[in-house]
Structures are given as C-alpha cells and as structure tokens.
A and B are shown apart, each in its own frame.
Chain A
Amino acid sequence: MFVPSITHPVGDFIREWVPKLSAYLPEQLQSQTLDSIAAFLINALLCIIAVCAVNIGSAPILIYMERKVCAHVQCRLGPMRLGWHGTLQTIADVIKMLFKEVYSPSGADKLMFYVAPLIVLIAPFIIAALIPFDHNLIVADIDMGIPMIIAVNGFGVLGILLGGWSSNNKYSLLGALRSGAQMISYEISFAMILLFVVMISGSTSLMDIAQAQDGTVLDWFIFKIPVLGFIAFILFFISSTAEMNRAPFDIAEAEQELTGGYHTEYNGTPFAMFYLAEYIALVTNSALAATCFLGGFHAPCIGVAAIDGVLQMVPGVVWLFAKIYFMIWCYMMVRWTFVRPRVDQLMDFEWKFLLPVNLVLLAAGAVWMIFVG
C-alpha cells in the first residue's frame, strides 16, 4: 500500500516509534502496513494541528494588533476596557460573532452562499503548510513550492466571486466582480516576483529558497542583488497587498462605495470566516515575504562572530515570526495611511506599470545572474 511520506525529522521520529509501540499490541493486530498507516495518520494529524494552531491562533492576535495600530495611527487608544489594555476584547468579539444567528438573504443561492467562505479559507491554510518555520520545521517540504503557492492563491478569488454572486445583492456582485478582476490581474505580478526569487535561488522549493539565504544580512535576497532585490521586495509588497484585498487596494470591500462589497450580506460565522481568511492571508503573505526576501528563519547575522553566535542561539522560528510580524506591521501602517485608488486606476497601475516593471526586473535579474551571480 502506498502511503505518502516526506522525509522530515518529526515524521521520521513517529515512523520510528510507531512500530516500537505497536509491539505492545496483540499479535494479530501487528502488521507493517498498519504501522505505516498509523504513522501517516499521526503525522497528518500533527500537521493539521500545527497549521491550525499557527493560523487560527494568530488571527485574534492580529485583530488586536490591527485595532491597536489603527488606533495609534489615528491618535486614539483603541480597546482599553476588557482585560489589560483591552486584550480580552478580541475574545469577546469572537464569542459574539460565533453566537450570532446565521441567515441568508432571500433569493440567495444557499449552497454557494455557505460554501464560499469555506473556499476562501482553503488557500491561506495550504500556503501556511508550505512555509518553512525552521531548518526542520515544515509541514510539507515539496519541490514545487512556488508553483503550488501560485496555483493555490487563485482559489481565494473563486470563493469571493461565489460569495458575491450568490448573495443576490448588487453591491455584493459589484464587489465580487471588482475583486475577481483585481486578484486575477495582480496574480500575474505576484507570480512574476516569485519567479524572480526562483531565478536567484535556483529552486522552487521554499526550503531551498530559505536555505540559500544562509549567512549574513547581505545574503538575504532583498540585499543580495543590489537595488534590484529591494525593488522586487517593494513590488512584492504592492502586489501581495492587492492579492490580499487589503487597503489601499480594498476596492472589493470599499465600505464607502459598496458598503462592504462581497461580504455585505454575510453575518455571524460565515462572515467570521471571511475575516479569518483575510488575517490568515496576512500571515501567509508576510511569511512568504520573509522567506523569499528577508532570509526566512535565518538570524540577521552581521558577520561579527561574537554577535552572530548570540543571534543564532535564538531559534529560527522566533526569527521568522519576528520578520512576519514586522511585515504585518508594515501592511497595517500602509492600510491606515493611504487612500483607495479607483477601480480603473488600479487596473491601469497593474497592467501599465507594475507588469512592465516586473518584466524589466526579471530581465535585469537574469543579466545579473549571468554576469555576477
């Protein structure tokens, strides 16, 4: 029987221990097939728990962080009443959201209406499984990491389009159409930049990309290729903001114009899922940025042995999360600073500016790789 297995220290450890433990089982139950299936299931369960823990666990933190960052940008204090500095506010909000009545508008396509939020959630969860959190801490270390991410990212559009269409609301439909056009357009730039990263690292595996940035800060891809790396990072920042439908590119929601866009008619748990998907996408996109440009789980070494030794004592997962939260903070600052472009200007920006710049960048990167790298 074929049981998929990926070489992995945690997985290997379980594969090693399951046969030893199964020796205590009755004779007739012992078999190699059963052992490998049990090991696979335990591994799969661990993977699911890990992905859920990282994703669902980070959502309340991010909501709290977003509210605090937003409040301090706007000269306010934000949540302050419930718990120390309002830390329990998010939990209260989540409880409120989960206990709300779930209903759909009349004339809505009920099946699609409730499936849409689930589809939106798929993409960020799969991407989170591909992110290397440390040298040996990765759920699925597949060779086709980058193509996989590009492929899966398109899934979110489907959910948003379905949600907007099935709501039987013109504002939702407009929001969904805008979102569809926007995400499909920006996906091209998004893929181009990842292609640039693949070109430098010579691998499509995210683990290899992270490993290729081992060394000092100057080995990170943002600094490795002078100027071009930084431009690529900025372009990635822009196109991933558009990918996530976050302000200033949140024309799909555009509260002032479309009263909420594709999720106008959603409430309670389905709405919470859209919300969750948005924040998990924030984590995964930040993790992707950290992995592709900011050295992944590597410590920011500066080439001085004494300091580097101390920095490297900190586990890689801590460094990765530090980088992720730095990126998230950047996304949040941008969100609360800029105003929103119009829908046609957004398309112009992608097709007439971002894409040509990306192509030039790709060509320049190739030239650099031939002559220098």
Chain B
Amino acid sequence: MSDSQFENIATLLNDPDIESVRQGILLWETLLELDDDKPFYWGKLHEIDFTDLKGTFSYGFGGKKVPSWLRTAKFRLYVSLWALGYLAKHGNETALSIKKIELNDPEFSTFPETFTEFAGMTHFELQRSKWTALEDVWMHFPNLIEIDLFDNEITTLPPSVGFCTQLQKLDLSYNPITELPECVRSMTSLQELKVRNFEGLSLPEWLGELRELRILNAESVNITALPDSIGDLKKLHTLSLRWSNLESLPETLGDCESLKSMDIASTEITTFPSTLPVLQVWESRLNQAWESFQQLSNLHTMEIWTEDLNNEIDFSWFPSLKYLTINSGDCSLKNIEQCSQLEKLDIGRDQTSIPDAICQMYSLKELSLSYSKITALPDNIGQLTSLRKIGLSSLELSETEILKLEALLPKVVGTRKRYSSSKSELRWHLEVDAYGNDQPVITFRRRLVMREFDDIPQLREVEQLSGYLDAQTPCADISKAEALLSFTIYADEAVDPSWLEKLSPSPNLQTVHFKCTFTEFPKDIVFRLLGVPSLSESGELIFPIDVKVSKEYELDLWNVKLTIAKVHGLLPTLTSFTSKVLTVIPELLCEATSLCTLDCKQTLCLDFPETVLRLPDLMTIEGKGDDKPDAWPVRTVTFQTKEVFFENVSRYDNLRTLNLKGAWLSEIPDVITKLKTLRVLDLSWNRLTELPIELSAWSNLTSLSLVGNQISELPDSLQALPKLQTVSVPKTMDLEPLKIAYPTIDFQTWSS
C-alpha cells in the first residue's frame, strides 16, 4: 500500500506545476504523521542525502544526493528544502545545524512551509531571481548575520526583517526598491549596507542611527544628497557613491572620523565641504571644484587619478595629509615637504622626478615609486630613517642610484615567514619592493650577512639564509646558526675553495645550495658538509645534508658522494642509483656490485661504461637515446623493430631483460631460445601456440610471461631451468596441474 501511495506522491512532486508539488508535500506530510506508515515515509525522507551539507544548503544541491524518484523533478530543490526543514522540525541534528541557505534563481518564488524551522540560520542569500517580495517570516531567524538579496525584483522588505537585530550585512543591490525600508532602522548591529542601483531619490535621515555601519555602498543610486546624519556614523570607513547623482556633500561628513575611502567618481559634485577628511578623485571634475579643493585643510587622505588638471597643486594647502596617492601626469609636488605628517606617498606612472625636499619628511614610512619614469633617487634619501617600505619596481635605476639607500639597508628588525609554510628569514627594517632591479639590494644584504654574521643576533633564529661571496667576503662560519635549515651561496665570480674554509654544517642544516661556479670544485668542503651516508629503503644513497650544485658540477658532486660511500663500506651494497641531470656515469659506480636499478635519463646510452652495464645484478636501466651499446642489458622489441633485433641479437651477450610484448610473434625464433644470459622474458600478447621443447640455454631465466598467447601446454624442459621462479600463463591454462607438475615455479595469470 505504501509503495503505491508514494508513487502518487512522487508523481505530484515531479509535476511542473508548483501547486501540485505542494499538494504532494501536504500528502506526504500527512502520511508521515500516521503511525502505521511512519517508518516507510520517514525512510523516503531519508533517501534525500543531506549528510554532507556542512551547514550550508545551496542551490547546487542535487545529483546523486537526490533519489531517482525526485532527480529530474523541476522543483526538486524546493522539495529538498522542505524535507530538510521537516527534519529540522523533528530535531534532526544535520538539519538543525544549517547556518547558510543560498538560493540562486530558484524555480520557485516562495519558501516551503518548513523554511521557518531553520532557526539557527545566520546567512541567507537569494540572488538573480524574479521574486518580487519576501514572505514575512523573518522573526524566526533571530541569529541572522547576513542577508544577501542581490539582483532580484524585490520592491520592499517585510516588516519582520526588522527583528533581525543581529544583522551585520545587508545587500539590497539591484532590486527595484524606491525607499530604504523602515525595518532597516532597527538593525542597530548593521556594519555593511549595500544599496547599489537603488531607485529612491534620497537616503533617510535616520541612516545616522545605524551607528555600527562601517561600509556603505550606494553606487549608481539616484540620490542627489546625503543626509546630514551621516556624520553620526563614526565607524564608517568606506563610502562608495560612484555613479550616483550626488551634487554636493554635507559638511557633517567631516565628523566621520574613521573614513578612509570615499569613492565619488562620476558624480555631479562641484564643491567640497571644507571639513572633508578623504578625497579620491578619478576625473577632471576637480577643475570645477578647485576653489573648495584648496580649502580642504583637514584632508588626511588624498588620491588623485587624473591627468587633466588645469592648475598646479600646492601641497601647503593640506598640512594634515597623511596618505597621498598622486597620479596626475608629471606632478611638481610643490611644497610637499610642508605635509610634515605624511606617512605614505605613492606617485604615478608619468612622474619623472621627486624633489629632494622629500628627504626632510621624517614621518614618511612608505614611498612607492614603482612603475613611474623616475631615473634617480634624491641624494639624501638615506635620511628617511622612518621609511619602512620603498617601491622601486620596474624603474630604470642604476646600481649607484639604488645604493643611495645604503644607509637604510643594514638594519635587521627580526625574522619573518613569507607564508605560513615557508621558512623563516631575516626581516629588514626597510622592505625594498623592487621587482626587476632588486639585485643590488639583495647582493648588498647577502654580502653584509657574510661579513657581519656574528653581529646579527637574529641570524640564530632564521631557518633560511643566503650569502654572497667574493674575494673580500669569504663564507661565514654558520655552524652556530641553530635554527638554520637551508643555506644558499651566491657569487658572481668563480668561488675559490679557500673562501669556503669556514663553512661547516650547523646542527639542523638540511640543504646547502651552491648557486655559483668554482675555480676548482671544493671536494673537501663538500665531503665535510655531506656527512655520513646511509641507504634508503629503495637502496639509494642518502646523506644527512642535501648539497645542491649546478649541472656542470653534478659529476664532481657524485664523485665525492660515491667516495664517501666507499669509505663507509656502502658502495658494494648500493642497489639503486638515480640522477636526473648526470650526463656522465661516475667511474666509481662500477664498484657498486649489488646495483639493480640505474636511472640516468640524461646520459646517452652509448656513454654508459661497459663495466657498469655488466654489473651482475643490474636488471633495470634507463638512459637517453634509442641507440644502445651491445652490452645493454634491457631491451624492448616491438612488431616494428623485431626483424632488426633478431638479426643482431647474437651480439647482445649481456641481454638480461627482453620485452617482446605485442610483437605479433607466432613462434619463438631460434635466436631467442639460444640467449643464455636472459633472466626476464616477456612474450605476452603474441600468437604463440607452443614453446620450443629445447630451452636449456635459458639457464639464467627467472621470470617468463606468456599471457595472451594460445599456449595450452608447457614443455617438460621448463622444469629443468634451475633459476626459473615465476611464469605468467594464459588464463585458459589450469594453474593447479601446473603447480603439481612444476612445484618450484610460481604460476600466475593476468589480472586486470
């Protein structure tokens, strides 16, 4: 009974008419309350998978989370939201933990009845819908912090939104709202209000009652004036009035003591209130407002982004200025030194010079000259002892010009990590942001570190350090830098090993990177740095400290490493050797008598020494190029190369692994059956019907694969192969008789 009943419900839920869907829900809800069928209908409810919501019900809910009987329904999101609300009503923890509901252009235009059950909801979002109104249900959501109603057709807010007194963010942008709803007035916690594209003609005087407001975005609104009460918004820091019809600003704006950003681009404003604290201008409108502009003695922040000024700015007009961004052609910066409180100066792309007078601005903390046309720095820039950051990116400055900062460069103020996962490094008092020409500063500081290593206490705390060496600047003794993990050495000229005499590993050092050339490879130093080696699980040589050199010294480095391995008796036990850069095989490798794997993809196969190729256990090898020496131990032969291979195979007296997969063989050529050195032979995916009877030459064979052939029997001679351990056979062969007949061999079939 339940099944057929639910079939009717499902039909209603899948109806394209929302009224039918509501009837289906009503019927389902009724049956959920009946004792007899409760478990069945609850089970159906739980077929909707809400387990992975993580507190958010989003318009993306669907796919496998929705059972097949609901998956293609037009209103499946509506039904799912109802079901989730129903679960919340009955105490389901997942449903009760919903904090955020996001709807984007939903198919429905009202909430399901159980929507009010999400009492814990803190964020609600409805975007890009055709909804014209919201239901008056908001008294149920006292915890709401954010309501985002961007781009709907809503004309006003229901009164109950006013009950959301905890609301901090409200976005009403792009709705045909003609008057800021009265209910907003009671949102005394509101910090962010967006009314972009607001169609009303004014903002209400009570706006000033929203004392917690920090951000007001009224872009593209029709208003011509702001209410005087805006001065009551003491916490307002960002005010965007761009593209509004504003013609003037109230004097009270000067009371907005936290204001840092005020965008009035593309407005009709031609006079400024004399109390204005912030001015950001993107256009030539400043010319029309020039008289009132000169009166802005309270300005603390000024941004000018226009090249069309008719008059020269005299900065003595703005004695309170702290933050100045001036992008107005090649500005003379007249009387800039009279802005004695200026902390930040950012100049524009067309600026060709800055006056020497800025060297008297002792409050200046940040000076950005990046991407301008400045070619010289003031001679006395080193006097700006408060300067913490200077931007010089992309400037065409000579090394001499950059080193005018020399007096400000040495001071260290601590350590820092660029990112939480990176290693700590020195933090300098002056941060030089000079992309493209930072080398003189970096080299100056790297050299300084080497020369004054013992006098910079913060060096004990850094995890990452770079030093620059030259004949007058040998490497410092870093052995006491207890936190140091990584040390990199730079030099423009070839480093003489004598410059490295003091270089000894510090207690926790992991990496030493030589980014330099050498007059002679410093074998003894590297020997000392590397430490005592061991073998990894894969049989590779590993050292406590990873020494890195450029490619040209890779062979020298490996010669030292293998020498150390020999000294410690590890060379004969080495089983694996890998180098991604070596172009020559180190000579000592021929003493690695247990070597099984050799991977040197940058070394030409023809350049591998024969003594290495004939190491007794070598079974896996990688080199560069298709041409291989006759002694090469591993070969892969395809249906395209097999004829040439068979002609030459008699020369391959060191062939150990032969891969003949997919070679389109119908029989095994005699030359193969005579290969005495073979250890691994893969004949998979051929057309073989039998193996030759005479196989005695394969006395070294350990592994044989016959998968994908039509072989039904194996010759007795297989039993006589003394080292044969593994045979992979076609799946048509019965393994049990084979295991009995050949008890020493492990038989396998293909598994895929």
Do A and B interact with each other, yes or no? no
Residues of chain A at the chain B interface (Cβ within 8 Å): none
Residues of chain B at the chain A interface (Cβ within 8 Å): none
